[in-house]
Amino acid sequence: MVKQKISITDIAEKTGLSTTTVSRVLNGKAEQYRISKKSQQKIKEVAKELHYTPNQFAANLRTGKSGTMALIIPSLNNPFFAGIASEINTELRKSNYTTIISDSDENPETEKMELQQLIARNIEGLIIVPCGNEWEHIKSLQEQGLPVVCIDRYFENLDIPFVSTDNYTGASMATKQLIENGHSRITCIQGVQHSTPNKLRIKGFRDTMKKAGLESESIVGDDFTFQNGYLETKLLLQQKERPTAVFTLSNTIAMGCMKALKEENIKVPDDISLITFDDHPYLDYLVTPLSCIAQPVSDISKIAVKFLISKINKQEVKTSQVLLRPTIKMRDSIKRIN
Amino acid sequence: MVKQKISITDIAEKTGLSTTTVSRVLNGKAEQYRISKKSQQKIKEVAKELHYTPNQFAANLRTGKSGTMALIIPSLNNPFFAGIASEINTELRKSNYTTIISDSDENPETEKMELQQLIARNIEGLIIVPCGNEWEHIKSLQEQGLPVVCIDRYFENLDIPFVSTDNYTGASMATKQLIENGHSRITCIQGVQHSTPNKLRIKGFRDTMKKAGLESESIVGDDFTFQNGYLETKLLLQQKERPTAVFTLSNTIAMGCMKALKEENIKVPDDISLITFDDHPYLDYLVTPLSCIAQPVSDISKIAVKFLISKINKQEVKTSQVLLRPTIKMRDSIKRIN
DNA sequence: GCAATTTGAACAATCGTTTGCGCATATTTT
DNA sequence: AAAATATGCGCAAACGATTGTTCAAATTGC
């Protein structure tokens, strides 16, 4: 703590006015309480001269408002989430909120603990990428009056607002692309199974396969990690009949997959085609520029913030559950076969 | 804010004890103040039953301790900084601190404003990657008693603690590597010129060139961005006599460089060799796996946190200015010529 | 059995702001 | 010139926790 912090009282003394008046001027309520221009000026001058910074804690204690929002994501190390964090951080700052970013590390217990901490900090709102399939602790916060919005992952049939990608469509697009290029033996490497995006992507994949008369779809994996992508691909390559195409459900999985392919000296797209969920600048410069389903990260973040702010301002929002359409970015990782 | 928050007073009422006693028990000072086991138990039970969470604001107002640290980085979107943020976040949490991550967006004015905000939040310590060459505002905070440590970028000849990479050595290693492979026309694309890491990297580059009798070194660029890397490379390729090797001073610059090279259909390393500062998982899967100077991100973060905690605990630290040795990761982006 | 000590806990001030209410003075109205 | 209204500002009580000090009751010592 910076010692000798100067308070509203110091300004009051120096100006010969009361803390009440100082507070009002500094909060822009001067007009409302008819403080004379002269006093206003004096107070502002002295405040500047003394380098006054209000003690948020005191103000917050009094008002119950913290000016703080919380963002909980599964991992800052995942570029997808880092991007979201960055966007939300700046977006919230525009509305004069400070964001506390927490990393649940894909662990529901950690998530709960962080949430506790955050509550103690009197957060005014929460944006969360829930990392488990339990929703009670989140729902209960909402019921206590805390504005909450889920992003990326969410809970269906629950009235917690969310903003996410239309994962079903995204996966369908990717799968269709593969099929149209003649692929039929397609393996999908998935992430956390119970997560809504994963479920919907899988559904999109399955439905599209089925519609094309391709029943033999194979789905493997269980985590949105590099590790998972690597291991599953390794296993995949052991099979007698390898797939001709792989659809990875995240950029992290894709990276793991690529590592395995590289080790086994399998070329994309000549030996195997690849498409993934999530875009990333690097994807353009890979051995084979990777085709992907790009999520509207920026829009997701902005809408989520908007929801939160509206809730706080008690504005009515018609819809608060939004799915944004992803775009497919074709690069060179899919080979036309047959 | 969650309404109907229960306070220490509620517990006091329900147990028939005073807030004093409740506070002491809940803060683990029961023994010190000889609170009976029975009372302790009762208080803890009721606290749990009521789902009590302390109001940090009240506590902090009283104690002046906020349990909050600040981290200011130039951009969460840069994977290098995102990695640092992630590490520091979890590291500080281990010591029971909440971290507020701020994004200065490479803008000194923004940095100053954020700092103001953070001061108002009574942060107990600051880890910062300063984004300008002004240090007064940071130094002044330190002089007011705020523990500060710079990471990555820092100020020489100032007694602000810092943890960074030995950039001079890193750049020397990279340059030497290039020279040993027969390169003499080497262009270095730098980042923010006044930043200490950049200056030292440039110095390492220059000295190594000079030592090898290569005086004609060319240095271009002025920002740690994708843009900068792209534009400078574009310009580079216009020259009559192109360099045989490029040394980019960050991963973002490298990406921009690669984009330009790709557009002009220049192959790495056949047409031009490339090495960059900063590692990233993706580097392994690029068209040409990119050789790099990897910074010890994890160690930097951990040491920075350690410094901060020591300062707060008023422990003496012998040295508080540390440069960590980077490692060179050879992949396939350097061609032996001549 | 009375003083001395220990045990267990409460009083009340405090941190820096905000805010409902109140109260002089100054100005205008009639 | 008295009444009504407007202007400019301050009092003092919160907010919820922490803490130096005090104090009664229980226990011990002699």
CB-proximal positions of chain C, under 7 Å: 7-12, 14-21
pLDDT surpassing 50 at residue B76: yes
Put simply, the answer to whether B3 touches A101 (Cβ < 8 Å) is no
Q: Give the bridge partners for B276, in sequence order.
A: B248, B292
Our CA-based measurement puts residue A179 at a distance from the nearest CA of chain B, in whole angstroms, of 26
Provide mean pLDDT across the span B246-259: 92
Domains of chain A, first to last: 8-54 (1.10.260.40), 66-165+297-325 (3.40.50.2300), 167-295 (3.40.50.2300)
Q: Which amino acid is located at B51 in the chain?
A: H
- Residue B224 — φ and ψ, nearest 5°? -85, 55
CB-proximal positions of chain D, under 7 Å: 7-12, 14-21
- Residue A29 — φ and ψ, nearest 5°? -105, 20
Say what the pLDDT of residue B302 is.
96
Provide mean pLDDT across the span B70-85: 90
| DSSP-derived pairing of the beta strands A148-151 and A162-165 | parallel
> How many C-beta atoms surround the C-beta of residue B210 within 10 A?
11
Provide mean pLDDT across the span B310-319: 80
pLDDT surpassing 90 at residue B280: no
In this complex, the residue of B77, B226, B282 whose CB is nearest that of residue A86 is: B77
Residue B78 pLDDT class (50, 70, 90 cuts): confident
Contact B76, A103 (CB under 8 A): no
Mean pLDDT for each consecutive 10-residue tract of chain A (338 residues)? 73 93 92 90 92 90 90 89 92 89 88 85 91 89 89 91 96 96 95 92 96 85 91 93 94 91 90 94 82 96 94 80 95 90
Say what the pLDDT of residue A4 is.
57
**Interatomic CA–C1' length for residue A26 and nucleotide C25, angstroms:** 25
pLDDT in tens, B52-72: 988 888 999 998 888 899 999
pLDDT surpassing 50 at residue B119: yes
Tokens of A44: 């502002």
Nearest CA in chain A to B141: A2
Task: Decide if B89 touches A, using CB distance below 8 A.
Answer: yes
Q: 3-state DSSP call for residue B105?
A: coil
Nearest CA in chain B to A63: B1
Alpha helices in chain B (DSSP H): 8-15, 19-26, 37-49, 56-63, 79-94, 108-120, 136-143, 167-180, 196-211, 226-236, 251-263, 297-312
pLDDT surpassing 90 at residue B281: no
- Rounded to a whole number of angstroms, the CA Rg of chain A reads 26
**Interatomic CA–C1' length for residue B27 and nucleotide D24, angstroms:** 25
Our CA-based measurement puts residue B171 at a distance from the nearest CA of chain A, in whole angstroms, of 23
**Interatomic CA–C1' length for residue A32 and nucleotide D5, angstroms:** 17
Tokens of B179: 């020279």
Task: Decide if A133 touches B, using CB distance below 8 A.
Answer: no
d(CA A195, CA A175): 20
User: A50 beta carbon < 7 A from strand C?
Assistant: no
**Left if phi > 0, otherwise alpha if psi is -120 to 50, otherwise beta: which for B28?**
left
Q: Cβ contacts (< 8 Å) between A145 and chain B: which residues?
A: 1-3
Our CA-based measurement puts residue A213 at a distance from the nearest CA of chain B, in whole angstroms, of 34
Distance of alpha carbon A140 from the chain centroid = 21
pLDDT in tens, B85-114: 999 998 998 888 889 998 888 889 989 988
Say what the pLDDT of residue B143 is.
86
| DSSP-derived pairing of the beta strands A291-294 and A327-329 | antiparallel
Tokens of B258: 């690669």
Question: Which nucleotide lies nearest residue A10, CA to C1'?
Answer: C16
Contact B243, B216 (CB under 8 A): no
What mean pLDDT, rounded, does chain B reach? 90
In this complex, the residue of B65, B77, B90 whose CB is nearest that of residue A83 is: B77
Say what the pLDDT of residue B1 is.
42
- Rounded to a whole number of angstroms, the CA Rg of chain B reads 26
Footprint of strand D on the protein (CB under 7 A): A 16-21, 33-36, 38-39, 58, 61-62, 64; B 5, 7-9, 19-20, 23-24, 26-27, 29, 33, 52, 54-55, 58-59, 61-63
